[in-house]
Structures are given as C-alpha cells and as structure tokens.
Amino acid sequence: MTIYKDKFSISKPVRLGIVGGGQLGKMMAFEAKRMFMKVTILDPNKDCPASNLADKLIIGDFSDEQKIYDLSREVDIITYEIELANATALNNLEESGFLVHPSPKTLSIIQNKYRQKKFLRENRITVPDFELVSSEEQLMQYCSKSGFPVLLKACEDSYDGRGNYLIRSENEISKALTHFSGRQCMVEKFVYFKKEISIMIARNLSGTISYFPIAENIHEDHILKTSIIPARISKETERKAINLAIMTMKSLKGSGIFGIEMFVDEEDNVLINEIAPRPHNSGHYSIEACSISQFEQHIRAILDYPLLQPILLSNAVMINILGPNNYTGPYEITGIDELFAIPGVKIHIYGKLETKPNRKLGHITIVSNSVDPILTKGNVEDLLKVQESSS
Ligand code: AMP
C-alpha cells in the first residue's frame, strides 16, 4: 500500500510521523517540510532538536507503546530515526495495515547486535567472528580459541561504542563481564582494520535499490569524528563493499535508507560491523555534496518514489562537533565566524540545550574538490571549541 501517488494536494499533504526528534529527525523533518509534508514527532524532550521544525510534537518515550499508537492517529505513515523505537507497538500497527517503514520486523533484527550479526552470517554476509556469551567459562574458551584481543559487546541499547569493552588478556575477562552485568552480551573477534567505511543504501517499496558514494570514517573514542568522501579505497574494495551492502538490503527486505558500517581489514577483506535502519551520521555529507540527501532518499523510499543513484557533486569532509569529554551542562561554541571564512563550509548546529561528554552537538561539511581532509580536520579542530557557557 502506498500513499501520495500521482497527485499532490495542498489541502491534503502527506502526514509523516517520526519516532525521535534528535538531529536525524530534525534533518528528516527539514526535507519533509521542503516538500510540504506535515511532520509529527514523538520525543521525550520538548526542546529536542526537531522541536522547532515539527508541526506537532508528542512528548513521550520512544519505547512507550501508547505514545506510538497516539502518533499513529496523527499521521499517514511512521518512520523512525532511532533504534530504540518500540518494535512491538510498531509491529502491531504494521499488522493492522498501518504504514511503518522500515518494517518493524527489520528493526527488531537490527535492535539486538547478536540477532543482527546472526542474521547477516546466515545470509552469507561477511562479519567478524562472534558468539553469544552464556557464561564466563564459555567466554574463556572462546578467547583461548580466538586469541586476544576480543570485544565484549552489550547486545542491546548500546550505541556510539558505549556498549563495547575491549578484553586484552585473560585477567580482564571477569571485569568485562561485571561491567555489563545483567545484560545480554556477545563476544566478537577484534578486527585489525585499515579503514572504517560506510555506505548509505536505500530500497523503496517497489524494490529498487540505490546507494550513495562510500564514506571513509575516522572514529575517536569509538565515536565518529570525521567522514571523508569519497573514501580513499581501491576500486576492488569499493566493489566488495557495494556488493555486501546490496546483499544486505536484499536479505533485509526493509524499505527506507540504511547505514551500513564496514571494516576493511589488512588483507583488504570487507566485513560488516553494524547496520543502522535509518539515516546515519556518516551520510550527512549528502546534504551538500550530493544531488539528493540521505533524508530525501529515505522519504522517497518509504513513499515508494523513484530512487535515483545519487550524483557526487563535490568531494567532502564532514566533521562532528562533539561535547568535551569532561563536562555536562550549558555550553557555547566558539570559532564559528572564522569557520565561515573557509570556502565551501556549511555548519549545522543541532540546538541541544546541554552538552554531555562526547555528545553530538552539530557538524560541519566542507565541500571542495581540492581540500586535504586531514589538514581540514586539523584546522576545524583548532578553530571550533565547545566550552562551558559563560552566561
Ligand atoms: P559499534 O558500536 O559496535 O559499532 O562500535 C563502535 C566502534 O568500535 C567501531 O566503529 C570500531 O571503531 C570499534 N569496533 C567495533 N567492533 C570492532 C571489532 N570487532 N574490531 C575492532 N574494532 C571494533
């Protein structure tokens, strides 16, 4: 079932519901508003980044079943910008014929890291070796078989590396397990990667698949700091990554945009690290550097519009503005005026009222075919500072 086909009526615009009003919800709402849709957002925070763009904000938790049903009464179609959306409520809606995309069935596979990796492995998609952890003895056995280091990962509610614990030797095993005590965990072989890359790939309801140019991602403290586009990889690695992404989309069956994060190891094997069933930080560059943004592509995909292959209009470097790792509270960002003096700079400030350690507060995209990504990163980091608010 699709909506909004063949005609556009000003008096009856598409009513889009988004679970989550963070920066991804904000940028999605921005594109939806450009195309004259009505946007209703569900978020626990009345001052969330998307709050001043939404036509209506429903205050409530992403996991609150009742609030998801409230959202469905306001809109024609629901999507989400966050994996924490209540998959059971969304699934009930889908089963009753309501439009929810990507499918909540896909969401519930992805929500749990073990289920996600198991699904990929069963579909012959290359992932690092892993096992579910059932006891300390079994984890010991895994480590003695695979060697150190390994990563212990909390299967749910973990993002931006916050649910990962690096185990370097046998005497760190029980400390790692205590760290996640009570949570379901999996163990994963450590990948000595040359590069981390990602692809934004979309599929519409009719099954057309389209992908964006590959981004090369640099993480600091397990958080994405910089993306360089196009990724500095060989044609052969690019081909392998695109094949894996297409295989993943074909097996997942969901529609919408997906961010697929991958490792390129020392032998140039490409392995999937993680899938996000939504727009992704590493795809923000598409707003300025491509013929279509990841957010418009997502909206097109879930409304079953044509999905064209995005054209890269310019090389780009995207740099996240992150909160300092030793401060929580009101903040200010300095250096913006100097930044505006750099040609090709676009600045995005999300409007979060408080910073927290490593919180994503905004990002900068520099579009230019002549920038040196590493030099640019250094310049931006020297100029831009997030600090405690003086007022
Ligand atoms: P995740 O939250 O699992 O996506 O992990 C966050 C970051 O941790 C990744 O972007 C990598 O830098 C690192 N990481 C995750 N899994 C592995 C792995 N198996 N081997 C090496 N590094 C990893």
pLDDT value at position 382?
86
* Alpha carbon nearest to ligand 1 atom 5, residue: 161
Q: What percent of the chain has pLDDT over 90?
A: 87
Q: pLDDT at residue 207 above 50?
A: yes
Neighbour tally for 206: CB within 10 Å: 12
- Pocket-testing residue among 157, 164, 225, ligand 1, by greatest number of atoms within 8 A of Cβ: 164
pLDDT value at position 3?
61
Q: pLDDT at residue 1 above 70?
A: no
* Alpha carbon nearest to ligand 1 atom 3, residue: 161
Spelled out in words, what is the top-level CATH class assigned to the domain 193-388?
A: alpha beta
* Alpha carbon nearest to ligand 1 atom 13, residue: 222
Q: pLDDT at residue 52 above 80?
A: yes
pLDDT value at position 234?
98
pTM over 0.85: yes
Average pLDDT over residues 33-40: 96
Classify domain 129-189 by CATH number: 3.30.1490.20
C-alpha R_g of the chain: 21
No. of H helices and E strands in the chain? 12, 20
Residue 169 sits at φ, ψ, to 5 deg, of: -155, 170
Average pLDDT over residues 258-285: 97
- Pocket-testing residue among 111, 120, 150, 151, ligand 1, by greatest number of atoms within 8 A of Cβ: 151
Decide: 30 in ligand 1 pocket, CB within 6 A.
Answer: no
Classify domain 15-100 by CATH number: 3.40.50.20
Three-state DSSP state, 130? strand
Exposed e or buried b for every residue in 371-389, given b needs 16+ CB within 10 A? bebeebbebbeebbebeee
Residue 78 forms beta bridges with which residues?
A: 17, 100
Token pair, residue 192, equals: 């000595």
pLDDT value at position 320?
96
pLDDT value at position 111?
95
Q: pLDDT at residue 237 above 70?
A: yes
Average pLDDT over residues 99-105: 96
pLDDT value at position 2?
54
Q: pLDDT at residue 159 above 80?
A: no
List the 185-189 sheet strands across, edge first: 130-132, 185-189, 150-154, 164-167
In terms of Cα–Cα distance, which of 263, 244, 299, 370 is closest to 39? 299
Give the pLDDT band (50/70/90) at residue 367.
very high
Residues 10-21: tens digit of each pLDDT: 888 999 999 999
Average pLDDT over residues 272-279: 97
Q: Is the peptide bond before 49 cis (omega within 30 degrees of 0)?
A: no
Residues 293-343: tens digit of each pLDDT: 999 999 999 999 999 899 999 999 999 999 999 999 999 999 999 888 888
CA pair distance 391, 306, nearest whole angstrom: 49
Average pLDDT over residues 186-200: 97
Give the pLDDT band (50/70/90) at residue 378.
confident
Output the CA 273–ligand 1 centroid distance in Å: 7
Average pLDDT over residues 76-96: 96
Average pLDDT of the residues of the chain: 94
* Alpha carbon nearest to ligand 1 atom 19, residue: 190
For the chain, which residues make up each domain, given as ranges? Answer: 15-100, 129-189, 193-388
* Alpha carbon nearest to ligand 1 atom 6, residue: 161
Chain center to CA of 287 = 15
Decide: 335 in ligand 1 pocket, CB within 6 A.
Answer: no
Output the CA 332–ligand 1 centroid distance in Å: 30
pLDDT value at position 218?
96
